[in-house]
Every structure is written in C-alpha cells, then in structure tokens.
C-alpha cells in the first residue's frame, strides 16, 4: 500500500472500494488527473505504476464518485508537506549507525516521557525538533534513565500539539523534522544507551485535518466512511472518529502502522494511548468492542514474535488484569500498563495539606498493587502528561500554587517521585520532574533549562535515586526484584517502611518514607537481618537543596530482636518528609 519506490518508477496502491475512478496527480504529471489513472483491483484497491515518478515528488489521489471529485492524501504516506498539504514519495535510504540495540529487561527500565515540541527548543519561537532533543541527551545520560518514551509524532494538525490528534498516522510530524530526523533521533538514542518507545493513537483518528474522513466519498448515517464505524460505536470523546476495528482493511492499516514503527524506525516498543476506548465504546463500561480486543491481541502477538523483548505498554487506567495477560490466557498481550492504582493515591497523599489526613493504608496499597502477580506489569509514576494538565498541575504547584519551590512543595514532590523509583514496577518520569518543573504542561511552553543549574542538587537527587533503582553500585539489586514486604505502616505518625527483594535475601533493600512534617531521632523499625546496614540515600540531605533540613542520619547496626514481623530491629533517625534507602554494608 502507498507509494513504493523501485527501479522502474513508483508504484501507487490505495484502498477506495466505493470510488468510480482514481488517479494519482503530482509534481511528476503537473497534477493532471488524466495522466495516471489507477486500475481497479480485487477487494477495492486501485493500482498504477508511474515510470517518471521519483522519491521527493509530491502527490495526491484524485478520487471520483458519482458527480463528485476530490483530492486525498495517501493514507500510507510516510511523509507529507504538512497535515493539509501533499503526500511526498519517500524512499528509505537512512544509514543506521547502530542497527542493533540491546534492550534492558523490563525490570531494569527507567522511562523518561518526552514531548518533542517542548522538551528543548533551539529556537524559542518554534516547536522543538528531534535534533533539538538529541542535543540534550547528555543531560539524560547524566540523569541515568535508560528509556525514552516520546509522545505521538505522527503528523498532526498544525505545528503545536500533544500529538493525540493524528491526521496521518504513517507520516512523521514535519514540524519535528520528518521521518529521517526521527530515525536519526532513535539512532542517537541507541548510541547513548536509551531504548525508544513510541506513543501511538489507535482509539481515534483526527478529528481535524483528517483526509481519511469519507475517504472515497461513501458513508452511512453521515459518519466517517470506510475507515470508521458507521453506527454508535464511532462515538468517542474526540468525535465520531473511532476506526472500524471489524473491517479487515482497517485492521490491516493499524497493524501495518504498528509494525512500521518497529521495522522502519527501530523503535523498542509502543505505548498505546487509552486502550479502554479500543476495547469498549464508553471507555469505562462493559460495552465491549470484541474486534478492538482482537486487534490488540493480533498486533501484540506479531510484535512480540518479531521483536522479542520489545515493550508493549497500555494506557488503560481501569486496573484491568486482562490487558497484561498473555493472548493464550485470553489477554491483550501487553507487557505492562500505566497504573492508576499507584499514581492517584500517591499524589493524593503528598498533595494533602494536613498531615493528619494522609492515608498510609492507601499508600501501602499503592506500593503493593500488581497485575497478575507480576510487579513489572505496571508502570508507576507521580507525573505524566495527563496528570500535569487537564485541570491538574505539576506536583509542586498542586502542593503550593503560590510558591512551587517552597520547602513543603519540594520535599513532598520528591517524596512522591522517590516512591515511584523505589516501588515495585517500571518507574517513569515526565520531562522536567528532575528540575521540579512547575505549573501545568502545555504544548506552547518549553522546559526551563536554567532550572537545571539553579536546582542542580535536585537533579543529583534524581540521579542518585535512578542509580540505586538500577543497582549501579551492585548493592541495591533488591530494587530490581519482584518482591515487596510492607512490614511497617504507622497511620498515627505517618511513616511507612518496606523491604524490596530480588531472589536472594542478601540483596534486600530497606526503604523508609516519612509523610509528616516532623523529624525523629530514635524510631524503631524492623530489618530483614541483623548487622550493618548502610544508608545509601537520604532525600533530606541539604546537599540536594539548601531548604532541606539535613536532619542527622547515619548507618545502623540492626540487632537480633524480631520487630514488625522481621527478624531484626534498629533505631533510625530521619527528617520531615524524608525518604531513606538502606542496603547491606
């Protein structure tokens, strides 16, 4: 499908089953409709080879149905001039410098969610580009993350967008640099040691600048035509734009798109936007769309077979175990999913004004939640693009809208992020968390990079947390493990402590989190074993921020006295809203 460059010109094939006539017009034939008519094939496709067409030529399909004739951009176009412009004949000649990449295992992932248009702008008056983002890879390398998840980069209406309004799902956004620039971004990311996960939107298309709408002139009930449902199932929060998951050609269209990101762009995984609207009509009810479920199973099965170890992430947010069950169990076959059962209670706990109202049992449940008994079937985070917009702000601004860099705002923001990076699950940061970006996320507002200098200690804190999460010093392997022992929940004093464990208890890591604005000098908690336990991180250290209290803390010697259901105990000291991480000496 689409425009295929070969030695004898360019072959064009398009699906338009209700058209009476189709021709391809472009720069190669002065846009003359009689010059290159397509021949009808079986199953509603049309085909022609144009000998004098070449890569770089612009074109459209001119479709006639009855008395009406109209031009359409090729649904399979790999490149367009813009969302309402022309398709461009694209030939893949990119020279990959790093064609192979060793993906981290899912239990060793730390994801950084990035919006290309605002992550970094070389020109403050223009959206950021893929090359602008590459220029900041040194910052990400220093931070320690090992996976970048980019918000959708399929061509959208205009130059400013979150990307969740895809106009042409096979074309790469021109304002970001187009297809070769994305390949250069992925190549550079792999060289720097970052996996790349691409966000895809299959729960709806458009709704604006949508040439797929009534593509060949046919529709029923004034709906969207061949690519869309023609009944109540078309309805989404983004208009009547839900694809017809039951129509074979539409299923193939979406399947081909998913495979394209992996095959042609060397992506390491996909994150599906709001799968609840693929599998149900309402997104929240039991009004299932069986074809949508089957489509996700088919795509995920083929991706996992062809790209073993790839990441398949669902944003469903309905705490549904079936998303991450395997296909042979009847599941959708995703490897992990965003976990609403973590982000909402953790944010609620740190954003609450009054310490007395923080719910430690809700925190416990958030830390212990998992899907199908597998901690790494969930992505845990305190900020994402959804959680810092749509009426919600960044965590520092939610805590203190007047002064997002106040002591309270900084300490409790770090408390939430530290739990995401120490809890069982795949941790994710949203761009700018490491510099305490405030207010809310907008596609017009780039990151303020001067904050990395002014708040360099905060970046160091995130780096230290990530290094612990990835066991960089060989002492914190427990943080990469499946298991959590939630042995200490103090609802009165607002303190929790838990043990993270891999297979070997010698790798145990103990984490303590204080959700109150008070410090302790002799606070007894259980330890998994007696002996020396080394303090590896204290978020209250003034070296991270001069507003932090720097309450005296130290290594501890646990004694052989059972406590909290564990075989040893020790008295620890810690500051207000502090998180401590201990490993064996």
pLDDT of residue 285: 85
Tell me if the bond preceding 207 is cis, omega within 30° of 0: yes
| pLDDT for residue 132 is more than 90 | yes
Do the domains at 2-89 and 478-583 have one common CATH topology? yes
With H, G, I as helix, E, B as strand and everything else as coil, classify residue 188: helix
- For the chain, give every domain's residue range: 2-89, 106-470, 478-583
Q: Which residues of 144-161 are buried (b: 16+ CB within 10 A; e: fewer)?
A: bbbbbbbbbbbbbbeeeb
- What's the predicted TM-score (pTM) here? 0.97
Within 93-224, strands assigned E span 111-114, 147-150, 154-156, 166-172, 195-200
With H, G, I as helix, E, B as strand and everything else as coil, classify residue 571: strand
For the segment 475-523, what is each residue's pLDDT rounded down to a tens digit?
999 999 999 999 999 999 999 999 999 999 999 999 999 999 999 999 9
For the segment 427-476, what is each residue's pLDDT rounded down to a tens digit?
999 999 999 999 999 999 999 999 999 999 999 999 999 999 999 999 99
Catalytic residue among 273, 387, 545, 564: 273
Percent of the chain with pLDDT over 90: 99
Mean pLDDT computed over 253-277 = 98
| pLDDT for residue 388 is more than 90 | yes
| pLDDT for residue 387 is more than 90 | yes
Annotated active-site residue 159? The verdict is: no
Annotated active-site residue 42? The verdict is: no
Taking a C-beta distance cutoff of 8 angstroms, is the pair 300, 332 a contact?
yes
**Which is it for the CA torsion 539, 545, 550, 555, positive or negative?**
positive
For the segment 332-366, what is each residue's pLDDT rounded down to a tens digit?
999 999 999 999 999 999 999 999 999 999 999 99
Higher pLDDT, 288 or 585: 288
For the segment 158-198, what is each residue's pLDDT rounded down to a tens digit?
999 999 999 999 999 999 999 999 999 999 999 999 999 99
CATH number of this structure's domain 478-583, picked from the four choices 3.40.190.80, 3.40.50.300, 2.60.40.1180, 3.40.50.800? 2.60.40.1180
Burial (CB < 10 A; 0-12, 13-18, 19+), residue 302, is middle
Catalytic residue among 74, 199, 315, 437: 315
Q: Which CATH class is domain 2-89?
A: mainly beta
CA dist., res. 42 & res. 44, Å (int): 6
Interacting residues of 318 by C-beta distance below 8 A, sequence separation 6+: 276, 284, 340
Domain 106-470 falls under CATH 3.40.50.970:
no
């Amino acid at each position: 499908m689409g425009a295929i460059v070969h030695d004898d010109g360019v072959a064009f094939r398009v699906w338009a089953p209700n058209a009476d006539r189709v021709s391809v017009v472009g720069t190669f034939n002065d846009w003359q409709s009689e010059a290159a008519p397509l021949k009808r094939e079986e199953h509603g496709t049309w085909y022609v080879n144009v000998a004098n067409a070449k890569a770089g030529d612009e074109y459209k399909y001119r479709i006639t149905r009855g008395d009406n004739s109209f031009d359409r951009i090729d649904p399979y176009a790999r490149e367009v001039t813009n969302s309402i412009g022309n398709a461009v004949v694209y030939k893949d000649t990119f020279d990959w410098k790093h064609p192979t990449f060793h993906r981290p295992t899912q239990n060793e992932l730390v994801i950084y969610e990035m919006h290309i248009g605002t992550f970094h702008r070389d020109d403050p008056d223009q959206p950021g580009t893929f090359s602008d983002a590459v220029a900041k890879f040194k910052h990400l390398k220093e931070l320690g993350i090992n996976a970048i998840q980019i918000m959708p980069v399929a061509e959208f209406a205009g130059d400013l967008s979150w990307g969740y309004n895809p106009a042409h799902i096979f074309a790469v956004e021109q304002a970001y640099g187009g297809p070769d620039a994305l390949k250069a971004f992925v190549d550079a990311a792999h060289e720097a040691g970052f996996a790349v996960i691409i966000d895809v939107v299959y729960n709806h298309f458009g709704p604006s600048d949508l040439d797929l709408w009534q593509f060949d002139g046919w529709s029923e009930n004034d709906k969207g035509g061949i690519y869309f449902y023609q009944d109540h199932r078309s309805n989404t929060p983004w208009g009547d734009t839900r694809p017809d998951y039951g129509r074979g050609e539409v299923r193939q269209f979406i399947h081909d798109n998913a495979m394209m990101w992996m095959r042609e762009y060397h992506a390491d995984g996909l994150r599906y936007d709001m799968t609840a609207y693929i599998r149900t009509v309402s997104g929240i009810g039991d009004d299932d769309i069986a074809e949508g479920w089957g489509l996700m199973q088919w795509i995920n099965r083929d991706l996992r077979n062809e790209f073993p170890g790839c990441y398949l992430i669902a944003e469903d947010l309905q705490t549904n175990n079936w998303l991450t069950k395997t296909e042979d169990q009847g599941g959708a076959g995703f490897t992990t999913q965003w976990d609403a059962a973590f982000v909402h209670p953790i944010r609620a706990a740190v954003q609450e004004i009054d310490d007395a109202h923080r719910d430690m049992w809700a925190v416990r449940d958030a830390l212990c939640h998992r899907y199908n008994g597998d901690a790494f079937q969930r992505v845990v985070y305190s900020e994402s693009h959804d959680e810092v917009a749509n009426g919600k702000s960044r965590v520092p601004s939610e805590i203190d809208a007047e002064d997002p860099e106040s002591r309270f705002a900084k300490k409790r923001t770090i408390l939430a992020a530290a739990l995401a990076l120490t809890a069982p699950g795949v941790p994710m940061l949203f761009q700018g968390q490491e510099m305490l970006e405030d207010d809310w996320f907008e596609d017009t507002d780039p990151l303020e990079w001067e904050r990395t200098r002014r708040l360099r200690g905060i970046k160091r804190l995130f780096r230290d947390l990530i290094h612990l999460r990835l066991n960089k010093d060989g002492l914190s392997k427990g943080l990469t493990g499946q298991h959590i022992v939630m042995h200490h929940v103090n609802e009165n004093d607002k303190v929790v402590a838990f043990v993270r464990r891999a297979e070997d208890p010698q790798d145990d890591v103990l984490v303590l989190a204080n959700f109150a604005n008070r410090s302790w000098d002799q606070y007894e908690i259980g330890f998994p074993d007696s002996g020396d336990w080394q303090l590896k991180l204290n978020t209250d250290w003034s070296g991270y921020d001069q507003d932090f209290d720097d309450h005296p803390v130290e290594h501890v010697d646990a004694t052989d006295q059972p406590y909290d259901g564990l075989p040893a105990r020790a008295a620890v000291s810690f500051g207000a809203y502090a998180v401590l991480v201990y490993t064996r000496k």
